[in-house]
Amino acid sequence: MNPAALAQAALSQPAPVQSAVPSPLSVFLGLARHAEQELTGTTLSSVPALSEAPAGAGSASALASAAAPATAPAPTTAPAAAASTVPAAEADPTPVLRLRDLTVGYPGRDGEVTAVAGVDLEVRAGETVAIVGESGSGKTTTAAVAAGLLTGGARIEAAEHSVFGTDMRGAGERAWHGVRGTRIGYVPQDTGAGLNPVRTIGSQLKEVLALHGRTRAEAEERLRTVLAQVGLDPEAHPGRFPHEFSGGQRQRVLIALALAGDPGLIIADEPTSALDVTVQKQVLDLLAGLVAERGTALILITHDLGIARDRADRVLVMSGGRLVESGPAARILDRPRQEYTKRLIAAAPGLTGVPLLQSHRAQGGQEQNSAPEGGAGEPLIRVTGVVKTYTGHRGGAARPAVDGADVTLRAGRTLGIVGESGSGKSTTARILVGLESADAGTGTVLGEDLATLPRKVRSLSRRARFVHQDATAALDPSFTVGQSIAEPLRGFRLGGRAERRARVAELLDLVALPPEFAERRPRELSGGQRQRVTLARALASTPEILVLDEPVSALDVSVQQQILELLLDLQERLGLAYVFISHDLAVVRHIADDVLIMAGGRVVESGPAAEVFDRPRTGLTRALVAAVPGTAHRRAASGAAVPRTAEPRTAASSTPVRPVPIGAR
């Protein structure tokens, strides 16, 4: 993918409103930056940062601005998007999109880098096609070409590239202005980057509609229609700002923006990866409804194979810029022919099969529910009746974020906390490490009284460390990896300069990274490597507890599995206890000993992980389990153990020795 080309595409957009907030188009700039890093390891200093997005790319409607009829009439030969309940594929055999023998290359450090090679993609009206693959596989690049967002410096070659029957090879920006927004709608992954935080969603939608040539009255009517289509209130919601919506509601707003121009093709890039399973299901149901009722074509880019299995008619599997395998979803994911596809499926966590935790401990002669060595003593965490109440929004009644939660955690064990957004799981975790004060409750954390934790947060933070979801945001981009890992050592004044360097090398080995990574910067690492660095930094002060907040939600399934294997390995060797927060029940099942299911601040169900997931007692837990993508198909399949493909460990990193704290040397 060529970021400079995407920057040029952004610069060519009309600029009705200036803003510093990235738009769906500027999201592509960030994705482009990440893709080039993955492929070439280059430093993209020549590409403007998202905060430096050019005028016109700064609002949520910059992408749609390209479709304004006043500047770019749509190609006259392209058929109109289907609007009836009869699938358009039956009435018109012409594909909505056809790419044949697509090859994309762009300049790299040592010459041209081929991002996509010989890919074929065809989508018809009323059809859903999922593109799956690891980071750097070329799936986002392919989508960018399909939408005409990869131009300029990139070398793009295709035997055929048609949109609604119109040949788009060599098409300039004027031609693409008549396609993007009105023919093709794009739903980005990051709702924070796709919406302007200082404007109401109604004003952002009206801006898009004005750029499509709608009058004020027409825009108002269309706004109400699209909000109703995505399940939002046309009366109450237009006047609200993005921060007043939940994650699922913001994703619905982005879908509404994509629908504003009534496109016949929607490209959704990881639209649900950060959402709870129930909200995820609602968003996917919405997209499926558009396909079924309006004959809209849908390209779904995802790393979740369960979503692909449940939602797609056809699946394309990509790796290294090439198409590995394609065909009907049931055939590809139930009976894969290629080894790469088989490895992806094997790495995907599920609600059936032997959990990673159980198989990992079986290798060490332990049972899943037996306390590891040192875990039979006094719990590291034992609190009861925890309450945290926040003041109501805009003078409303106060509401409890946590309401009577009981939490127990022993050494060497993992407690999974699962729940929807707003269930209280993250607030509970923050209370346990002293980052939030509890309004009520009793008990101790690492021997400290619950009521005194906020006053002792510095000493507590050395023994209980927090690992955040977004490894990119957690690492200072101006620091080398070695500097980031050594930061807690400097903060806690542990060791001298030479000791810190030695400790950094030790920690890199512990998380299976080469010592030369100490001189790299975060932008030179893959997503999985950055997450390993955050783990190394968290382990620097030799903690007893790690609180992991959605640590693998944004990772590909194979990288996700590697991180889970690493966590289990570290737990076995160091005796760590984990509080593992996730919306992914399948992931929690694979790593947790015990589980808390939370809703509305309350613990609605708790117990051993196998018991909670295999024999749920409450309706909420059953609903969460049923909403996991691919659940029905996985439960119909064999319950045999899933083969694992963990990363090899170095000889040094396999030594079962707990590192000695620097302060004790």
The one-letter amino acid at 37? Q
Contact 87, 295 (CB under 8 A): yes
CATH 3.40.50.300 residue ranges for the chain: 3-347, 356-477+542-637
Of 248, 244, 245, give the one whose Cα is nearest residue 275: 248
Q: Are 163 and 263 in contact (CB under 8 A)?
A: no
Residue 174, classed as helix, strand or coil, is: helix
Q: What is the DSSP string of 9-60?
A: HHHTS--SS--SS--HHHHHHHHHHHHHHHHH----TTSPPGGGPPTTSSST
**pLDDT value at residue 151:** 63
For residue 199, the model assigns a pLDDT of: 93
**Mind giving me the DSSP string for 316-336?**
EEEETTEEEEEEEHHHHHHS-
**Cα 459 from chain centroid (whole Å):** 33
- Tokens representing residue 353 in the block: 């099969």
pLDDT of residue 106: 80
DSSP helix/strand/coil, 539: helix
> What single-letter amino acid sits at 334?
D
Q: Report the C-alpha gap between 169 and 171 in whole angstroms.
A: 5
In the three-class reduction of DSSP (H, G, I as helix; E, B as strand; rest coil), residue 610 is classed as helix
What are the backbone dihedrals phi and psi of residue 588, each rounded to the nearest 5 degrees, phi first?
-60, -40
> What burial letters (b/e) apply to 197-228, b meaning 16+ CB within 10 Å?
eebbbbbbbbbbbbbbebeeeebbebbbebbe
Q: What is the DSSP secondary structure assignment for residue 661, as one 8-state letter?
A: P
- Residue 660 backbone class (left: φ over 0; alpha: ψ -120 to 50; beta: rest): beta
Q: Taking the CB of residue 339, how many other CB atoms lie within 10 A of it?
A: 9
CB-CB contact of 434 with 517 (8 Å): no
Cα 217–Cα 218–Cα 222 angle in degrees, nearest 5: 120
Place of tokens 């409103």: 17
Average pLDDT per consecutive 10 residues, the chain (665 residues; last block may be shorter): 38 34 40 40 31 33 35 34 37 82 84 90 95 87 88 84 92 83 82 83 89 86 87 88 79 86 89 77 86 91 88 94 94 93 85 77 63 63 94 68 95 93 87 94 95 92 89 88 95 93 94 92 84 94 94 82 91 94 88 94 94 91 83 50 34 34 37
pTM value > 0.75: no
Q: How far is CA 305 from CA 136, 472, 515, in A?
A: 17, 24, 34
What are the angstrom distances between the C-alpha of 464 and each of 54, 381, 425, 541, 625?
43, 11, 17, 9, 30
Residue 98 region, left (φ>0) first, then alpha (ψ -120 to 50), else beta?
A: beta
Q: Which stretches of 212-304 are DSSP H helices?
A: 216-229, 247-259, 277-294
DSSP-derived secondary structure for 116-182: EEEEEEEE-TT-EEEEEE-TTSSHHHHHHHHTT---TTSEEE-SEEEETTEE-TT--HHHHHTTBTT
Task: Give the model confidence (pLDDT) of 58-100 as tens digits.
Answer: 333 333 333 333 333 333 333 333 333 334 334 456 899 999 9
What does the buried/exposed string (b/e) look like for 264-283 if buried means 16 or more CB atoms within 10 Å of the residue's CB? bbbbbbbbbbbbbbbbbbbb
Pick the CATH number of 3-347 from 3.40.50.970, 3.40.30.10, 3.40.50.300, 1.20.1740.10: 3.40.50.300
Question: From the CA atom positions of the chain, what is the Rg in Å?
Answer: 25
Cα distances from 159 to residues 102, 120, 167, in angstroms, run 7, 10, 11
- 356-477+542-637: which CATH topology? Rossmann fold (3.40.50)
Extract the tokens encoding 8: 């040029």
57, 64, 8, 3: which is closest to 29 by C-alpha? 3
pLDDT digits (tens, 9 = 90+) for 9-37: 333 333 333 333 334 434 333 444 444 34
Q: What pLDDT was estimated at residue 494?
A: 93
Q: What does the block give as tokens for 26?
A: 């500027």
* Structure confidence at residue 85 (pLDDT): 36
User: Residue 40 is encoded by which pair of tokens?
Assistant: 């070439």
pLDDT at residue 33, as a whole number: 40
Which two three-digit tokens encode residue 457? 């947060």
Asked whether the beta carbons of 258 and 181 are under 8 A apart, the reply is no
Sign of torsion, CA 279 284 286 289? negative
Tokens of 18: 């200036």
| Chain centroid, CA 351 distance in Å | 20
